[in-house]
């Protein structure tokens, strides 16, 4: 089992460019999440999908869109990248039951110049 797989691992963009971060999980989890991690700020939730067919905003959704393509895949899109979006992005998944831990991918390191 690969767990949660994120692609790409690294990316450099110019301001105004667009890109989609991909995430796939093979654990048959219902819920999926996108976080960003910045120094001293912990993990901040961008968007989440409680189950296939639903998506909801998290703490910092501005400048991002998401698509829950199917049960396995949840993508994050930056339509017009800004330097403030330079960060490490993590995807996570978990079973729908509340008292279950999230399982994380190894992140996408995104730099916007």
Partner 1 sequence: GESVGLHLPTLSVQEGDNSIINCAYSNSASDYFIWYKQESGKGPQFIIDIRSNMDKRQGQRVTVLLNKTVKHLSLQIAATQPGDSAVYFCAENNRGYQKVTFGTGTKLQVIP
Q: Would you tell me which residues interact with partner 1 (CB under 8 A)?
A: 4, 31, 37-43, 45, 48, 50, 56, 58, 88, 90, 92, 98-99, 101-107
Least Å from the CB of residue 1 to partner 1 = 14
- Residue with tokens 């994050």, as numbered in its chain: 76
85 phi-psi bin (left φ>0, alpha ψ -120 to 50, beta other):
alpha
Least Å from the CB of residue 73 to partner 1 = 17
DSSP state of 85: G
CA distance 26 to 1: 7
Least Å from the CB of residue 91 to partner 1 = 8
Whichever of 62 and 99 has its CB closer to partner 1, that residue is 99
Whichever of 9 and 18 has its CB closer to partner 1, that residue is 9
* Cα angle: 46, vertex 25, 35; to 5 degrees: 15
């Amino acid at each position: 089992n690969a767990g949660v797989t994120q692609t790409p691992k690294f990316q450099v963009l110019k301001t105004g460019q667009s890109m989609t971060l991909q995430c796939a999980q093979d654990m048959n989890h219902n819920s999926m999440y996108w976080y960003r991690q910045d120094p001293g700020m912990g993990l901040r939730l961008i968007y989440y999908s409680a189950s296939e067919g639903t998506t909801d905003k998290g703490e910092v959704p501005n400048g991002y869109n998401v698509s829950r393509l199917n049960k396995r895949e949840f993508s994050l899109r930056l339509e017009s990248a800004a330097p403030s979006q330079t960060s490490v992005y993590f995807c996570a998944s978990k079973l729908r039951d509340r008292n279950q831990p999230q399982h994380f991918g190894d992140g996408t390191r995104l730099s916007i110049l």
